[in-house]
């Protein structure tokens, strides 16, 4: 290359003044050289990285390459860089590499990497890895330093060509300790999540951009389908017939407004035909890459059966007290009406819905409030029975004399829980307009 240095310098100088590049013909005309010789010079400059070549149809256009001095580039990087010549001798090394090894530059430059031996563990680990990679041709691998140093590097071997056209090798070590630590923390977190998710009684599913990303084993136990089967099914396929219209409306609403309900409950049909009542609690998180849905599925079947049984029991109880001819009512310890029979509603001129959950003050109207509130405090303080008589003002502007008996409802522990009242008699013959 040195015998052509003058011509090579002339070509670089010519190309430096041409911002758009020049063809071989144009360069040869300027140098007053034949195109064959100029083509050889350009090939040398191209291989050594001094020029760049672009194709315009069949024409080749050459221009100066924009390069950063190698020493400046090596010093400005966080990575560790070692450069070998064609004989695997160290020709350059950056300060970061020297700092890691705690070596001076003179300890490495000019040394054949195959014969470099150091007693320090960290130095020997790195050079042994480089030597084995050069022998095996493995260009990319990780170097794990021992626990004392606690660092992990990614080693890359990159073939290169020097300015004189000779081949060489760049050894690059990238510190990936933080990334590996973060990856390990993420794996640990994921393992802990899976361990927790696979041992709870609720089913957990995660959807990313409407695709199933995760499902714990409990989902399969509740729904009765495998993960692969569920991926081929829609929510409507497992919804019980009586709930399909409602669930379809919910899904259509979600699709049209992007609003996700926080909870929805419905009857579903398992693969074996049995029915389960499930509650789905939904959390929606939006990211730059899309939407993630977290769905917690709880099997509420036993609770639903108990709730239905309780409602049936309350219906039966209401039917039973409605057949009782005397007006009857019951209150909680705050004086709210828990319920009454139809005879009591008729007496007061109110509907059952107007009475339940309210106090006498909240109901108002033409009641004689003091009459039904009487002795409540006494019965809560001293459990027992109270019987008293008073005048009741009817809505039709008549007054009747009625007798009321109240008794305290108590818990298993014997504390007051409410009051039951019954109208024992009403002297209708003494009604008078007021």
CATH, residue 416: 3.30.450.20
- Same-domain check for residues 109 and 54: no
How would residue 42 be classed by pLDDT, with cut points 50, 70 and 90? confident
pLDDT at 5: 78
Span 389-412, pLDDT tens digits:
988 877 666 778 889 999 998 888
Q: Residue 51: CB partners within 8 Å, gap ≥ 6? A: 11, 12, 15, 42, 45, 62, 63, 64, 65
What's the CATH code of the domain at 43?
Answer: 1.10.10.10
Instruction: List phi, psi (to 5°) of 207.
Output: -110, 130
- Same-domain check for residues 133 and 168: yes
- Same-domain check for residues 19 and 36: yes
Token couple for 231: 């991926």
Q: What is the mean pLDDT of residues 47-55?
A: 76
When the pLDDT of each residue in the chain is averaged and rounded to a whole number, the result is 82
In the chain, the number of structural domains is 4
pLDDT at 358: 86
Q: Which long-range contacts (CB under 8 A, 24 or more apart) does 42-51 make?
A: 42/11, 44/1, 44/4, 44/8, 44/165, 45/8, 45/11, 45/12, 47/161, 47/165, 48/1, 48/161, 48/162, 48/163, 48/164, 48/165, 49/161, 49/163, 50/8, 50/12, 50/163, 51/11, 51/12, 51/15
Boundary residue ending a domain (250, 274, 303): 303
User: Is 337 within 8 Å of 329 (Cβ atoms)?
Assistant: yes
Whether 314 maps to a domain, the answer reads no
pLDDT at 71: 52
Instruction: List phi, psi (to 5°) of 390.
Output: -160, 175
Strands 51-56 and 80-84, sheet pairing: unpaired
pLDDT at 262: 77
Q: What is the mean pLDDT of residues 218-224?
A: 89
Residue 256 has pLDDT above 70, yes or no: no
Burial code (b: 16+ CB inside 10 Å, e: under 16) for 163-174 equals eeeeebbbbbbe
Whether 194 maps to a domain, the answer reads no
DSSP character for 137?
T
Q: What is the mean pLDDT of residues 52-76?
A: 69
Beta bridge partners of 294: 206, 283
- Same-domain check for residues 89 and 160: yes
pLDDT at 174: 87
Q: What is the dihedral of CA 8, 12, 15, 16, to 10 degrees?
A: -170
Token couple for 204: 């957990």
Residue 428 has pLDDT above 90, yes or no: no
- Same-domain check for residues 24 and 44: yes
What span, in angstroms and rounded, lies between the C-alpha atoms of 51 and 16? 10
Q: What is the mean pLDDT of residues 174-181?
A: 84
Q: What is the mean pLDDT of residues 292-311?
A: 88
Residue 164 has pLDDT above 70, yes or no: no
Whether 317 maps to a domain, the answer reads no
Q: What is the mean pLDDT of residues 73-95?
A: 79
pTM value is: 0.46
Residue 260 has pLDDT above 80, yes or no: no
pLDDT at 385: 92
How many other CB atoms are found less than 10 A from the CB of residue 308? 11
More reliable by pLDDT, 78 or 205: 205
pLDDT at 47: 66
How would residue 197 be classed by pLDDT, with cut points 50, 70 and 90? low
Residue 4 has pLDDT above 80, yes or no: no
Whether 7 maps to a domain, the answer reads yes
The closest of 403, 372, 375 to 389, measured between CA atoms, is 403
- Same-domain check for residues 263 and 232: yes
Q: How many H-runs (helices) and E-runs (strands) does the chain carry?
A: 17, 18
How many percent of the chain have pLDDT more than 70? 87
What span, in angstroms and rounded, lies between the C-alpha atoms of 384 and 386? 7
Residue 275 has pLDDT above 90, yes or no: yes
Span 136-154, pLDDT tens digits:
888 888 888 765 557 888 8
Q: What is the mean pLDDT of residues 346-352?
A: 82
- Same-domain check for residues 345 and 412: yes
pLDDT at 81: 87
The closest of 340, 401, 394 to 367, measured between CA atoms, is 394
- Same-domain check for residues 83 and 170: yes
- Same-domain check for residues 337 and 277: no
What span, in angstroms and rounded, lies between the C-alpha atoms of 183 and 393? 79
Whether 35 maps to a domain, the answer reads yes
- Same-domain check for residues 240 and 283: yes
Q: What is the dihedral of CA 408, 411, 417, 418, to 10 degrees?
A: -40
> If you count them, how many residues does the chain have?
434
- C-alpha distance from residue 313 to each of 309, 316, 320, 344 (Å): 6, 5, 10, 21
pLDDT at 72: 47
- Same-domain check for residues 425 and 331: yes
Whether 313 maps to a domain, the answer reads no
Whether 215 maps to a domain, the answer reads yes
pLDDT at 2: 55
Boundary residue ending a domain (303, 332, 362): 303
- Same-domain check for residues 28 and 121: no
Boundary residue ending a domain (179, 211, 245): 179
More reliable by pLDDT, 84 or 433: 84
The closest of 319, 279, 327, 274 to 299, measured between CA atoms, is 279
Query: Structural domain of residue 411, as residue ranges?
Result: 324-433
Residue 75 has pLDDT above 60, yes or no: no
Span 103-116, pLDDT tens digits:
888 888 888 888 88
How many other CB atoms are found less than 10 A from the CB of residue 426? 16
Residue 73 has pLDDT above 60, yes or no: no
| Beta-strand runs (E) in 227-274 | 263-269
Whether 409 maps to a domain, the answer reads yes
């Amino acid at each position: 290359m040195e015998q052509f240095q003058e011509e090579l310098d002339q070509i670089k100088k010519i190309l430096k003044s041409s911002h758009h590049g020049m063809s071989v013909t144009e360069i040869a005309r300027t140098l007053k050289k034949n195109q064959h010789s100029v083509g050889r010079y350009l090939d040398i400059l191209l291989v050594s990285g001094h020029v760049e070549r672009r194709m315009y149809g069949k024409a080749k256009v050459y221009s100066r390459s924009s390069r950063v001095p190698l020493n400046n580039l090596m010093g400005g990087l966080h990575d560790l860089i070692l450069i070998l010549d064609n004989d695997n001798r160290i020709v350059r090394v950056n300060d970061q590499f020297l700092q890691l090894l705690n070596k001076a530059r003179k300890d490495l430059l000019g040394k054949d990497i195959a014969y470099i031996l150091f007693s320090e563990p960290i130095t020997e680990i790195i050079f042994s890895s480089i030597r084995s990679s050069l022998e095996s041709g493995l260009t990319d691998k990780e170097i794990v330093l021992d626990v004392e140093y606690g660092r992990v590097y990614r080693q890359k071997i990159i073939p290169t060509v020097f300015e004189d056209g000779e081949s060489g090798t760049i050894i690059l070590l990238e510190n990936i300790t933080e990334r590996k630590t973060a990856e390990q923390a993420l794996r640990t977190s994921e393992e802990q999540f899976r361990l927790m998710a696979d041992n709870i009684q609720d089913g957990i599913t995660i959807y990313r951009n409407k695709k199933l990303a995760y499902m714990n084993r409990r989902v399969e136990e509740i729904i009765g389908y495998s993960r692969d089967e569920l991926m081929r099914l829609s929510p409507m396929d497992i919804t019980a017939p009586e709930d399909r219209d409602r669930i379809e409306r919910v899904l259509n609403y979600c699709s049209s407004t992007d609003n996700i309900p926080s909870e929805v409950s419905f009857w579903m049909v398992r693969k074996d035909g049995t029915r389960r009542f499930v509650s789905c609690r939904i959390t929606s998180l939006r990211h730059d890459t899309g939407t993630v849905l977290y769905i917690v599925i709880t099997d509420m079947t036993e609770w639903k059966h108990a709730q239905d049984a309780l409602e049936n029991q309350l219906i039966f109880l209401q039917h039973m007290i409605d057949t009782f001819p005397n007006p009857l009512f019951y209150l909680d310890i705050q004086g709210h009406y828990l319920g009454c029979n139809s005879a009591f509603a008729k007496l007061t001129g109110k509907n059952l819905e107007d009475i339940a959950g309210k106090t006498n003050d909240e109901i108002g109207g033409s009641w004689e409030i003091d009459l039904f509130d009487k002795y409540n405090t006494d019965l809560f303080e001293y459990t027992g029975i109270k019987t008293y008589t008073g005048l009741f003002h009817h809505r039709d502007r008549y007054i009747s004399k009625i007798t009321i008996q109240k008794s305290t409802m108590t818990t298993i522990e014997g504390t007051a829980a409410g009051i039951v009242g019954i109208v024992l008699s009403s002297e209708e013959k003494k009604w008078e307009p007021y």
